[in-house]
Structure 1
Amino acid sequence: MEGFRSYPLECEFGTHSKECIHAADYIIKNPAIPKHAPIITYAKTEKKCILSDISLYLDWNADTHAPSAVITITGTKGKSSISHAIHSLLSRGKNIEADSHFTVRSYLAGNIRRSVLTLIEQNIRPKYLVCELSAQQIGDLRIVNDLSINTIECQIFTNFMRDHLNYYSNMKEYFLDKSYLFRKSAGYRNIIIPNDKWGRRLALHYKAEQCYWHSATPLDSSQLGSWFEDGVLLYRSRIGATATALRCFSNVPYSYYIQNVLILMAFCLAHNEDMPRDRETWEKLLTLEHRKERVANNLKRVFINDSAATIPQAMNIAALAPHSVHLICGGTDKELLPQDLLVQCKKAEHCYLLEGTFTSLLLPLLRKERISYSGPYNSLQHAVEEAYTQSYDGDIIILSPGCASFGMFKHEFDRGEQFKNIVQSLG
């Protein structure tokens, strides 16, 4: 807030008065403010023009002589991994000098702590803008006046799971926000969607050649995209064509990592990008901070930072077998199901619980199932030190909370950074 005081602006902090809203010509809404907040309702009754940083950029981009092609990524989990991987794919080995309209080939922004307005401020002109969007950011676009979407070239939907029910009243409301851009742009450009009931809802108003599917089960001959079958990853680039196998992955189990590979395969098909053919390249593309990030292999233990696993379904503790896993988990409730976190805890040798409202719901279940645990801890350092003391050579110590970070931490990235700093101090 101090930064605003350096501008010749009249600032109001700590409140949103009706007088301020009444006097405004434009209102730029922060995603943290609920759409149904009284001040937003008042702004609507006053017929104020409500905008967001995303809508401002899309309008500005559409009015430029050579607009950037926007690629949006949303879904419950996997958004950041896919966004970073696509940005890397589009940036690799390409020279932008041949096109004088653009300053860089690809730029990554959105729900990654980098606003799209940075592009305007710093006069960055990417050929492609890769934009990760949260449900709240998309939901804000539902109340924007005259939203311009004609520069969105491709939309990607990773998956849809129970989440954010501390913000939404039910799953239907959550899905309506997540799917808004798909519904608004029906029949326009390419979409990449999951082969499940949610993806089929998104595909209702699109032609078959616009839909690229990613699937845990085989696709039929009328579907373009990528899928998993008997430990092999396959893809189809033309309707009716014979499937092609990605041979660097064979005899592998299905996992969220494999799902991300399938999404990237589908993007390569939709965008006519060269598909990587070796597993090392795929792993480099999909390795991301705070997501199954190997922090250190010192003190004869393996430490993994998975702080971005903010719902139980993203944890995947079984994939760490046959190692003994010491799991640091727990935190703040998002109206999720503690039974889902219990499933993950059962796969660990021992659990170290961080205090929080979701942890309080989990505790009775752990006791009933006689699952070994320590805590709750009001200090992450104490939890990490206990995990180190109680573990043995070759064991894995992983921070994979399965719930929100608020209370003990600023956000999941702060939680992950603290974990990494603690691990380094142990050595």
Structure 2
Amino acid sequence: MKMTAKYKNKKVLVLGLAKSGTAAAKLLLELEANVIVNDQKPLEENIAAQSLQDLGAEVVCGSHPLTLISDDLDYVVKNPGIPYTNPLVSAAMEKAIPVLTEVELAYHICEADIIGITGSNGKTTTTTYIYEMLKGSEKDPLLAGNIGEVACEVAQKATEKNVLVTELSSFQLMGIDEFKPKISLLLNLVEAHIDYHGTMDAYVHAKGNIFKNQTSNDYIIYNADDKKVSKLVELGQATLIPFSTKGEMKHGACIENGYLTVFGKRLLPVEEMSLPGEHNVANGLAAAAAAHLAGASEEKIRQVLKSFSGVAHRLQYVDKINGRTFYNNSKATNVPATITALKAFEQPIVLIAGGLDRGLSFDDLIPYFKKKVKCVVSYGETAQKLVETAKKANIELVHCEKTLENAVKKAYVNSEEGDIILLSPACASWDQYRTFEERGEHFVNEVKKFS
């Protein structure tokens, strides 16, 4: 890693530990900063804080005294999840003390080029696509950010022979100063995280930080079909590379005569992509453009587009058994996410849905139930509500089960060759599972029993 002197002898407050805060504090100590760690968990229960104290950090745990924000403080490095309304963060900003996230530290020490991926949806799939496409290339890819390890940890291992493929949230991008990826991707912009950012404009501005320091020697790959994205990237200085599923792009990535085409070169017919849905075609185009610029071969890009099974729990292909194809979309914890999944398929769908009852309506599903779904199997707290929604859509095959295990069995019994059996719950998992990942893994294990 590059041993930057930027933080040497600087007084830095690391606010909030968890994975990213702990990694940032350790790195800052190695860079010879004077580190103060502040975390809510009391010191006697806080193993991370204890280890940092042993390494030489000053540790303040159990409370957040405003006296930590002093005139001699040079930087605050905060956990991305801590809002800017936090009293310590607000006080730092009032004193014009830079408030950073650990991705800024990663940039300053990283010897490798960085590919940064952001957007409201599709970040994880696109990031993983790029990572897989670059395997075996001249520069070995390393996965970092919201997916994989903390960016400043991975950056310490990176050399000029690597490329850092980094998923970036709006929370992380608000806390950058000089961070500059060689290639940035802006996939789409829809209303999200307004409770954190306050307004849609603030959210969009945070996303735009990904290219604010780029120059004409860098690239921004952007969604030309998204008006908000197209308008935002006009503020940047990087070379613009558009992608589109709707129009032809001679200097970018698009669908041309039914083929995924990147920089004028045909890769493969759309129907040969392994992941279904227009949103995944868009993700694939964006990833292919980035991977091409970073040195991946056409053959490797083509191979990944044809074989990639998806990120776990995000419209993940599970198996094909007796002509039925199973998909795990446990990440769909709300109605819009389930609508996106339903839109991805042309085949008849047997839908498994249900989970925690948040008191919300499922009526927005009705038009998609009518067009796409032949059978609904509901389970969990929301089972009866989903039954009523399915009946409003005039679906004849509707079943209500107590558990996901029983729902999977019922879905199989009510399916036939050529059907899609889709777990896309439209609900949080917390009535029966600790996480959506646990729910998805249970589904995958139940599917395996049929093979």
Specify the TM-score bucket, using the shorter chain as the normaliser.
0.7 to 0.9
* Contact kept in structure 2, 1:331 and 1:354, CA below 8 Å: no
Task: Say if 1:251 and 1:396 are closer, same or farther in 2 by CA, change over 3 A.
Answer: closer
Alpha-carbon distance between aligned partners in 1 of 2:421 and 2:259, rounded to the nearest angstrom: 30
- Supply the distance in 2 between the matched residues of 1:24 and 1:156 (Cα, whole angstroms): 34
For residues 267-300 of structure 1, the C-alpha deviation after alignment (integer angstroms, 9 at most, x for no partner) is 2554454323885442235633323323244587
CA contact (8 A) 2:353 2:424 kept: yes
| Distance across 2 between alignment mates of 1:265 and 1:219 | 15
* Residue aligning to 2:50: 5
Q: Where does the alignment leave 5 or more consecutive residues of structure 2 unmatched?
A: 1-45
What residue is the counterpart of 1:43 in the other structure? 92
Q: 1:414 to 1:262 in 2, by over 3 A?
A: same
Take 1:181 and 1:91, find their aligned partners in 2: how far apart are those partners? 24
Q: Deviations over 1:373-401 (max 9, x none)?
A: 55596x54454344345545664322223
Name whichever of 192-201 and 260-269 sits farther off. 260-269
Distance 2:266 2:358 in 1: 41
Identity %: 25
1:128 matches 2:168: no
Question: Do the aligned partners of residues 266 and 404 (structure 1) sit closer, same or farther apart at CA in structure 2, a change above 3 Å counting?
Answer: farther
Q: Give the match for residue 232 of structure 2.
A: 202
- Kindly tell me: are residues 256 and 20 of structure 1, through their superposed partners in 2, closer, same or farther at Cα, counting changes over 3 Å? same
Change beyond 3 A, Cα 1:90–1:407: same
Q: Which residue in the other structure is 1:172 paired with?
A: 201
Quote the offset at 1:200 in angstroms. 1.8
Could you tell me which amino acid in structure 1 is paired with residue 254 of structure 2? Answer: W
User: Paired residue for 1:264?
Assistant: 287
Secondary structure of the corresponding residue to residue 86 of structure 1: helix
The one-letter amino acid of 1:109's match is A
Secondary structure of the residue aligned to 2:376 is strand
For 1:102, the equivalent position in structure 2 comes to none
- Inter-CA distance 37–323: structure 2 relative to 1 (3 Å threshold): same
Aligned CA-pair RMSD: 4.0
Q: In 2, Cα distance between the equivalents of 1:382 and 1:168? A: 41
SS at match of 1:137: helix
Distance, in Å, in 1 between the alignment partners of 2:322 and 2:350 is 15
The residue aligned with 1:225 is 252
User: Normalization by structure 1: what TM-score?
Assistant: 0.75
Give 1:191 shift.
0.7
Cα contact 2:107–2:155 (8 A) shared by 1: no
Question: 394, 398, 402: which one pairs with 2:422?
Answer: 398
Instruction: Say if 1:52 and 1:140, in contact at 8 Å, map to a contact too.
Output: yes
Matched, 1:106 2:141: yes
- Structure 2 letter corresponding to 1:304: Y
For residue 276 of structure 1, give the secondary structure of its aligned residue in structure 2: helix
Q: Does 1:234 align with 2:261?
A: yes
| Distance (whole Å) between structure 1 residues aligned to residue 73 and residue 407 of structure 2 | 49
SS in 1 for 2:314: coil
From 142, 146, 160, the counterpart of 2:189: 160
Deviation at 1:419, TM superposition (A): 2.6
Partner of residue 374, structure 2: 349
Deviation at 1:155, TM superposition (A): 0.4
TM-score between the two structures when normalised by the length of structure 2: 0.71
CA contact (8 A) 1:332 1:405 kept: no
Tell me the equivalent position of 2:245: 216
| Aligned equivalents of 1:230, 1:334: Cα separation in 2 | 46
Q: Residue 115 of structure 2: SS of its match in structure 1?
A: strand
